Amino acid sequence: MSGVTVMLSRMLKLPLLGLLALACCSRVRAPAVAMTDEAVPGLIEVELRSGAAAPAGMLLDRRAVEDDEFGEPLRREQDFELQVAPEDEEQVLISLRARDDVLWAEPVTRVRALWLPDDPDFSKQWHLKVAGAERAWDIARGEGVTVAVIDTGIAPVDDLDPSRIVPGWNFVAGTADARDDNGHGTHVAGTIAQSTGNGKGVAGMAPLARLMPIKVLSASGSGTSHDIAAGIRWAVDHGARVINLSLGGGARSLAMETAVDYARRRGVLVVCAAGNSGSRGVSYPAAYPASLAVSAVGPALKSAPYTSYGPQVAIAAPGGDKSLGEEAGVLQQTLSPDNPQVAAYRWFQGTSMATPHVAGAAALVESVGITDPGAVQRLLTSTATDPPEADDERYGAGIVDASAALRKATLWFGGWRLVLALFGAWFAIRQARAVQHLRAKDKPGPLFAAGLLFGSGAFTMLAPTGAFEKLQGLSLFSLPPAAWPAHFSVPLVAYAGFSAVVPLLLALPARLAQRPLQNAFGAVVAGLAFGQAGTLLHAGLFRTVDLPWLPAWGAALWLVLNAIVAWVVGRGLLSREAIR
Amino acid sequence: MKLKGKVEYRDLEGGTYELAAEDGKRYTLVGASAEVKALRGSRVEVEGSLDEGFGISMSGPQLKVARVRKL
């Protein structure tokens, strides 16, 4: 394998340096804060209930915190920044957290190169931080993914971007007007895709995702299994990639179960609330095998007292625990309880609030080109944070961490695609030399390497640096080029991505050259073909993409066959290097 | 069906009203929201029917309120 190592170092030098330079340049422009993520020794931030006495330590900063213009009037709370001796920090934290008047206390850390939104109340959204949204936004923001919110509707409140709300349907009234008259659906939609970085209100998990309002619940928050099943099918047929079902009941409905199966078969992930019974027994639709059931945790990451639990729970997410105080709920914009015509920022709790954190995380993962619902689910569960206690029925695989899932989807998957592409190229070159199609001195150069890196989508490995999200127009580079056609939702063209069509078409003119590898276009196309072969093989072996025109087993077969075709295309270009 | 019990507010899913019924069960009250809200904390008699039970509260059977009367 030393041949591979030599080739790798030779080929990677130039293009990788270029990409790294790009990433570094972007740092300069980024509206980032400090560059380390270490705890600042001895610095603690504490929030106290109103009237509580300040804790011991040198007081650096003290602010009264109160809800601003929109929300319900909240009690004033006090936010402190304390300096203590670094060696006492742990002890002080333990004693602070034990106090009844302390809402929370945590060491102050400097976060690394984050895109921090300027939404004024983002700092109160502990739940988005728990779900890993902050670091996830450096990699992706949900662009190009539609999430259906099957609920009480979505109200066009001012902290939701109207251009991101796609047409939906109202199954209660039988009209296209799916506006919310309860507030629940709007709150849920906010957690998924509240306008973020708009200098107003609060943030959402996947701010660039599209929201599809499907109203199946009346103003009083109840509905029928018939409407819910119809809503699921409507969402699937109108382009939703993720479905959020923050609703449930105790009765198993065959209509709903087959609708959930239909969604999953059509490549749509169905994320459901486990229920609020506070006891063992997950409600339906969460309990169906094809659903992803979500239980709720509070700010201390402990299972919330109201959450239902059971063997079907796949993952936990922050749903709030208001027994610890109002601000231990989930904060989003919704409707005022007194006047449903007026928007208000309110703290809700429930497994309904946990569910959209997972649906939002799923939208983020889908936006980096992982479109198979099974692959999205595996990514989310395999990267979930360990819960504070071992209890699979309450926490499933753990607490959702969108940032960890995205790092795995870009770094790890990008690495695999590159390794497979390099192996294919190495094998083809070795073989071409053995049959004397290629002379020993004909070595692949930087253009071949650039084609291979591009085709394999290796640059997605740079996504965690934040380069692609910070520079306008580069977000496409957080997904492999094979996923680009589908990203633009162009009919027919979308099918060209995960196939050998592009290298095949490009190889035709490239083959006209006598020695393609010595010709810039031919060298790039040969590299691209091996890169594409790596991408297709990875997608086939790891089942990461959903191909809507093929059943699951057919998709894997299609991808592997196309990987072979792409490899043959690359190998064919090598054979034109003939010395005979 | 007719049930007697106490109307209780529960801070869940933005706020729901439940009937802590004399039969020992808890029912999420659906519909007639203004009347139910006004009777928070009171002993009442609710006339209504159990619906399929799908909704946002997910915490037990749902009682669709036809009439509610303070006792």
For residues A332 and A194, the answer to whether their CB atoms sit within 8 Å is yes
Query: Residue written as tokens 């191909």?
Result: A547
Task: Indicate the DSSP class of residue A221.
Answer: S
Peptide bond before residue A213 is cis, with ω within 30 degrees of 0:
no
CB atoms within 10 A of CB A329: 26
**Is the distance from CB of A507 to CB of A533 less than 8 angstroms?**
no
Buried b (16+ CB within 10 A) or exposed e, A366-380: bbbbbbbbebbbbbb
Structure tokens that stand for A260 in this block = 């959930």
B30 and A221 within 8 Å at the Cβ level: the answer is: yes
pLDDT at A130: 95
Q: How far is residue A57's CA from residue A96's CA, in Å, rounded to a whole number? A: 11
Q: Which residue of B12, B37, B54, B63 is the best one to mutate when testing the A interface, meaning the one whose CB has the most A CBs within 10 A?
A: B54
Q: How many CB pairs under 8 A join A and B?
A: 97
pTM over 0.90: no
Q: What is the 3-state secondary structure (H, E, C) of A184-217?
A: HHHHHHHHHHCCCCCCCCCCCCCCCCEEEEEECC
Residue segments in chain A with a per-residue pLDDT below the cut of 50: 1-2, 4-5, 8, 12-37, 65-75, 111-113, 578-580
Structure confidence at residue A19 (pLDDT)? 43
Indicate the residue type of B59. Answer: S
Other beta carbons within 10 Å of A31: 11
Alpha-carbon span A113 to A261, nearest angstrom: 41
Q: What is the pLDDT of residue A92?
A: 84
Sequence-ordered list of residues with C-beta below 8 angstroms from that of A530, at least 6 positions apart, any chain: A421, A422, A424, A425, A428, A451, A452, A455, A456, A566, A567, A570
For B60, which residue in chain A has the nearest alpha carbon?
A277
Question: Is B17 touching A (CB cutoff 8 A)?
Answer: no
Cβ contact, residue pair A219, B54, below 8 Å: no
Residue A477's nearest CA partner among A491, A494, A465 is A465
C-beta atoms surrounding A246 within 10 Å? 31
If one counts every other C-beta atom within 10 angstroms of the C-beta of residue A4, the result is 16
Tell me the three state secondary structure of residue A577. coil
Phi first, then psi, for residue B49 (nearest 5°) are -140, 150
- Chain B residue with CA closest to A332: the answer is B14
- Gyration radius of chain B over CA positions: 11
Q: Which pLDDT value is given to residue A563?
A: 97
Helix A446-455 to helix A520-542 angle (10° resolution) is 30
Interface check B15 vs A, CB under 8 A: yes
Give the model's pLDDT for residue A63: 57
Instruction: Output the six-digit token pair for A466.
Output: 């934040």
Give the alpha-carbon dihedral of B48, A150, A213, A322, to 10 degrees: 80
Per-residue pLDDT tens digits for B19-52 = 999 999 999 999 888 899 999 999 999 999 998 8
